[in-house]
Structure 1
Amino acid sequence: MKDTPLALLPLVVLLIGSSSGSPSRTCPPDNFDKVNVTPEDISRTSSFGFDLFKKIKDQVPGQNLFFSSYSIWSALAIAYFGAEGKTLDQLQKVLRLGEKDKGYKIQRELSAELGKNTAVELDEANRAYFADSLILKECFRSGEFYDIHQVDFSDPVRLAREINAFVNSTTRGLIQKIVEPSSFEGSRFFLVNAVYFKGTWQDPFPEVLTRPGDFFCSPGVACGEVQMMGHSSFFNHTNSTHLGAEVLELPYLDSSISMLLFLPWEGSVTVDEVVDRLNHTTLKKVVSELWETRIFIDLPRFKMEQTLIRELQRALKELGITELFSRKADLSAFTNSNDLMMKGLIHKAVVDVNENGTEAAAATSLFPQSIPLVISFDRPFVFLILDKTFNLPIFSGIYRSPPV
């Protein structure tokens, strides 16, 4: 049998340079439990994911795309807790976070809520590496609130080995290496976020219905052959006038997480236009319109790998995070040292979508006698791996063509 549908991603952020700032309290308050955070406060952070989706797809025009805005948000949230001044203002605005007390609780409650999805594997690990020569402020030095490691940056081979082992472990061996010893040249601060996801379809695809099929990159023009998975069952579906696309939900077993697939109206709407129309409001509207319908679907079995470095940094600058990447960066909440800034980012993602993954489930499928609706994803489409509790995209992607 093939592996279960899965997606994973680690994010690494490097920070070096010079900055200035003033001391401030960095730890959550003693009355942390009394800080008020509503579900809407948490779901509003999804706007960062949609804004970033638009910017990144413009950075890689015409290409397949897969990344985790949630992972990037989580990693930048660590920088947010260490930021002050204008650097903090920019991060607050772009990440949709308020004051640090509230932002900290939003992050913790979101992480805890996602952790309730025990039927799927959704593991997140945030870790910050500081040079052992830096004197960290107590909140960070204690490790009570953040996974902080002070290490010898003068031994880049050992540091690369340690970080790669951390990412390899978190991603179950699917991403074994993300940094080289040269990655740490001149660095005194390294930020890592890794997210791993693995889920089984609630209603698996019967492998006996998988067969070769053409994929059409433009109307009437086949650009490659894919293994097309077929399935007939009841699925949540809507034909969205807000997006100009058919929308189909494929839920994961016993979970608040689903894959949403968006098939643009052929000949009138492109995948780029669908992404441009996606936002916190339109997604909420689309999800509310989903209705269970008997459908036969065709979906390519696919695997995608993506590495984003300069494209991600440019996208974040366009969103308004500029100080973090300059010598004006103010990260003085971490340490009294005035020489921290963000050097760059490395973001690597892998997604593998296939029929099922469990032998027992593959043997139990229902085939309705009559199918009133047929949807074939044999042309470019958009997909999200979404937490429906907060309508939060964890992973986002565009499938434009079969990998060469």
Structure 2
Amino acid sequence: MSIFNLAWLLAGLCVLVHCHHIPIDFQADNQYSLVGHQNLPHLKIAPGNIDFAFKLYHEVALGAAKKNIFFSPLGISTAFSMLALGAKSHTLSQLLSGLSFNQTEITEQEIRENFRALLEHLNNPSRNIELTLGNALFIDEEFKPLKKFLKDAKYFFKSDISHTNFNNSEEAEEEINSYIKKKTNGKLVDVVKGLDAEVVTVLVNYIFMKAHWKNPFNPSNTQEDYFFVDEHTTIKVPMMFRNGLYYTYHDTDLSCQVAVLPYQGTTSAFFVLPDPGKMKQVEDALGRELFLKWLNSLREQRINLHLPKFSISTKYVLKGILRRLGITDIFTNEANLSGITGKPDLQISKAFHQTYLNVHENGTEAAAATVIEAVPVSLFPIMKMSRPFLMIIFESNSQSILFMGRITNPNEN
């Protein structure tokens, strides 16, 4: 049996500086709520993608007890939905179920068309945010995929297609790594190493995001402070500070605070700070219903916000994680990927995911141009990210979770 190697590489960069507020629907009581765009063609896959994001988080967290977690659920869903173009029979239904698509409510064709519309929406340069999300297929020169598979990959998933000499593994690795480096603005280099001898195809998924805070942190307010990794470990971190208006919510049921920091356009970061000792309680409850509850409960108020300045990089081998979600056939001889070649003679040998995140203040010039409100900060509630917290980067018009994770140690890269 040939091996179809899904060397699935996701590169996520978030450089956070200044920007406009995300679109919100202002209620009389200053409630934050999702802007309704129910007629948009990509919203039918949103519930499945959100469910998959939280299911994936739970599985990733199983193997990362006290480690940082950061990944792009949308990138993973996009890559494997593209792979579904070539899946047949039980392998296809298993893939779609594992990706949280209810096959009684949405058809395979609708999933493809919704992803095409979603990619067009997110890659639109007029959105005032630097965000690129796409795919690439590197195909061995002697391997002949079906024309329909290549055509659909390009049409529905905006995939670049390159013919590569996998007989020269060093040359193939260099070609793929150069592509990834270019698509991630140089943030991920030498990602592919040690390609399997029987590789015939490598699928790459990438996502690059550069966004800016609406209200930047003044660098002169950043000071070294303590971060409590756990009850036994304390470290020092550069802690940013800003007093301002934010949409927040105190979830008394789960003992955590939620605050939304807006970026440019329609993207925002949700920071969730569990009370001491309550991280597992919050993580266990994570899901679409809880996230919608937080969205509908947010209220605008002035707070003193303290947030670490940090940079982290993560990498995951997805095989075990996805198998626990029920996606098993594609990694075995039971795989039916005959939609790629016309024959059920392929299986996935590898699937992995890599991201990079950088959170910092805005530059001094932009910060100086920001109006700093002269108010006695001691009068306002404090939200200080001085212990492990969750971060969810959300695009409201498509209702997509672009990235999510847990920051346990801001100094651990």
Shorter-chain TM-score: what band? Answer: 0.7 to 0.9
Residue 247 of structure 2 corresponds to residue 236 of structure 1? yes
Does residue 1:171 correspond to 2:184, yes or no? yes
How far apart are the structure 2 equivalents of 1:150 and 1:330? 23
CA distance in 2, matches of 1:172, 1:358: 23
Distance 1:185 1:51 in 2: 33
User: 2:205 maps to what in 1?
Assistant: 193
Pair 1:47 & 2:39 matched: no
Structure 2 counterpart of 1:57: 61
What is the rounded CA distance, in whole Å, between the counterparts of 2:226 and 2:233 in structure 1? Answer: 6
Distance of aligned partners of 1:107 and 1:141 in 2 relative to their CA distance in 1, 3 Å threshold: closer
Percent of paired sites with the same residue: 27
Q: Does 1:118 align with 2:148?
A: no
User: How much has 1:76 moved relative to structure 2?
Assistant: 0.8
Equivalent in the alignment of 1:16: none
Aligned to 2:138: 129
Structure 2 equivalent of residue 393 of structure 1:
401
Q: Does 1:106 align with 2:118?
A: no
- Structure-to-structure mapping, 1:68-147, within 5 angstroms: 68-97=72-101, 98-116=106-124, 118-142=127-151, 144-145=154-155, 146-147=159-160
Residue-by-residue CA offset, 1:309-362 (whole Å, 9 max, x unaligned): 2xx221111010000111111111111243211101121111000011462244
Structure 1, 392-401 or 38-47: larger mean CA deviation: 38-47
Give the stretch that moved more between structures: 327-336 or 274-283: 274-283
Q: Distance in 1 between matches of 2:97 and 2:304?
A: 43
Q: Counterpart in 2 of 1:274?
A: 282
Answer whether contact 1:204 1:365 (CA < 8 A) is retained. Answer: no
- The verdict on how the C-alpha distance between 1:108 and 1:357 changes in structure 2, with shifts beyond 3 A counting, is farther
The answer on 1:322 being equivalent to 2:322 is no
The alpha carbon displacement at 1:222 in A equals 5.0
> The residue matched to 2:190 in structure 1 has which SS?
coil
CA contact (8 A) 1:42 1:110 kept: no
Q: 1:41 to 1:402 in 2, by over 3 A?
A: closer
Q: 1:358 to 1:387 in 2, by over 3 A?
A: farther
Give me the whole-angstrom Cα distance separating, in 1, the residues matched to 2:352 and 2:190. Answer: 12
The 5 A counterparts of 1:247-262 are: 247-253=258-264, 255-262=265-272
Q: Distance in 2 between matches of 1:222 and 1:308?
A: 25
In structure 1, the residue corresponding to 2:195 is in which secondary structure? helix
- Give yes or no for contact 1:294–1:373 (8 Å, CA) kept in 2: yes
Instruction: Quote the Cα distance in structure 1 between the aligned partners of 2:252 and 2:368.
Output: 35
Map 1:277-288 to 2 at 5 A. Answer: 277-288=285-296
Q: Do residues 298 (structure 1) and 306 (structure 2) align? A: yes
Matches within 5 A, 1:357-368: 357=363, 359-368=365-374
Contact 2:122–2:132 (8 Å) recurs in 1 = no
The one-letter code matched in structure 1 to 2:176 is I
Distance 1:188 1:99 in 2: 30
Q: Distance in 1 between matches of 2:108 and 2:169?
A: 33
In structure 2, distance between residues paired with 1:403 and 1:4: 17
- The residue type paired with residue 224 of structure 1 is I
Q: 1:160 to 1:174 in 2, by over 3 A?
A: same
Alpha carbons 2:177, 2:191 under 8 Å: kept: yes
Find out whether 1:246 has 2:257 as its counterpart.
Answer: yes
* Kept in 2: contact 1:5–1:357 (CA 8 A): no
Q: Does the C-alpha gap of structure 1 residues 139 and 121 become closer, same or farther in structure 2, counting only changes over 3 Å?
A: same
Consecutive unaligned residues of structure 1, counting only runs of 5 or more, are 7-35
- TM-aligned CA distance change 1:390 to 1:368, over 3 Å: farther
User: Displacement, 1:245?
Assistant: 1.3
Aligned-partner Cα distance in 2 for 1:201–1:390: 20
Query: Which residue in 2 is equivalent to 1:313?
Result: 319
Distance 1:396 1:217 in 2: 19
2:70–2:403: 8 Å Cα contact kept in structure 1? Answer: yes
Retained in 2: the 8 A contact 1:213–1:226? yes
1:86 CA displacement:
1.0
Q: Secondary structure at the match of 1:61?
A: coil
